[in-house]
Homo-oligomer: A and B are copies of this chain.
Amino acid sequence: MRTVAIVGVGLIGGSFGLALRQAGFPGSILGVSSPGTIEGAIRCGAIDQGVSLEEAAGTADLVFLAQPIYGIIATIEKLKPILGRHTLVTDAGSTKQVITEAARAFLPAGNFLGGHPMAGGEKRGVEAGRADLFQGRRWILDVNEANADNSTTRVLRKWIAEFGANEVVMDAATHDRLVAWASHLPQLASTALASAIQDSMPNARAVAGPGLLDMTRLALSSWDLWNDILETNKPEVAAALDGYIAKLQALRSDMGREFANGSGFAAELRK
């Protein structure tokens, strides 16, 4: 793997470039983004130079798509006529099924490896990028029969391990079902909590403690980040919301049982 192209050089894309450099990647790192972003990304050391998507698709061994979900899908369609024969395309989209379907429609099966580095932060943009963003975090990869033997797949997996990330192999449908509960539902639970207090009892701020701060941290996320995620995982998110609402109703009738159940899960999660 001599040349990597990052499409969408924001927090995740920029951190990918920084992590590659810190882990000792000696090749060339290209960026595809707006001129202002490219300038900032070069200044941060996340990429070496900006190029067009055509140039990236024709010269890179690996194309890393780190845009919002619908941006990734649009890029996959554009890549169809211009992608190099051996170039591997991977992505960082937070849902995997719609992206995987787009890849199935437009790219050869052996040239696409769906991915989801489970890392992020409250700040956005390449300026917030960090070489250690992926350290200790899970990195979901949809390794399958078609893409497993691509030589760039093997090299990418090695670099992901070098970043200190924990690779988890999982297909797109399983991924989307599990993140609906582990990521999308917690986001909605936090947003709903903050919004309910804002509407019904804003004075509760006067007695807020660390518990409320923890429970409203995710609510700081903005809609433009989440719009694509929730839109592309609707049935799973709806099922998770239903399960959560039913559980809140059950809490009223048997608080003791739910407490034991909840604290058991919370403790397991920390093992």
Say whether B182 contacts A213, CB under 8 Å: no
In the bound complex, residues from chain B placing their C-beta under 8 Å from that of A200 are 181, 240, 243
The 6 tightest CB contacts between A and B, nearest first, are: A194-B262, A223-B259, A198-B265, A191-B262, A182-B204, A219-B266
Say whether A263 contacts B220, CB under 8 Å: yes
Q: Is A258 positioned at the interface, with any CB of B under 8 Å from its CB?
A: yes
* Residue-wise interface mask of A (136-173) relative to B, using a CB-CB cutoff of 8 A (1 in contact, 0 not): 01101000000000000000000000000000101000
Q: How far is the CA of A201 from the CA of B237 in the complex (A)?
A: 12
In the complex, the chain B residue whose C-beta lies closest to that of A185 is B193
Interface of A, secondary structure class, is helix
Q: How far is the CA of A230 from the CA of B214 in the complex (A)?
A: 20
Q: Known contacts being A190-B215, A194-B265, A258-B195, is A175 close to B223, with CB within 8 Å? A: no
The number of times this chain is found in the oligomer is: 2
Say whether A255 contacts B230, CB under 8 Å: yes
Total interface residues on A, CB under 8 Å, equals: 83
In the bound complex, residues from chain B placing their C-beta under 8 Å from that of A204 are 178-179, 181-182
Say whether B189 contacts A189, CB under 8 Å: yes
Q: Is A105 positioned at the interface, with any CB of B under 8 Å from its CB?
A: no
Instruction: Among A170, A194, A196, A265, find the residue whose CB has the most chain B CB atoms closer than 10 A.
Output: A196
Q: Known contacts being A214-B215, A220-B266, is A261 close to B183, with CB within 8 Å? A: no
In the complex, the chain B residue whose C-beta lies closest to that of A270 is B213
Residues in A175-221 with C-beta less than 8 Å from chain B:
175, 177-183, 185-209, 211-221
Q: How far is the CA of A151 from the CA of B199 in the complex (A)?
A: 41
Q: How far is the CA of A204 from the CA of B244 in the complex (A)?
A: 14
Our pick among B170, B214, B264 for the contact of A217 (Cβ within 8 Å) is: B214
Chain B binder among A7-15, A55-63, A245-253: A245-253
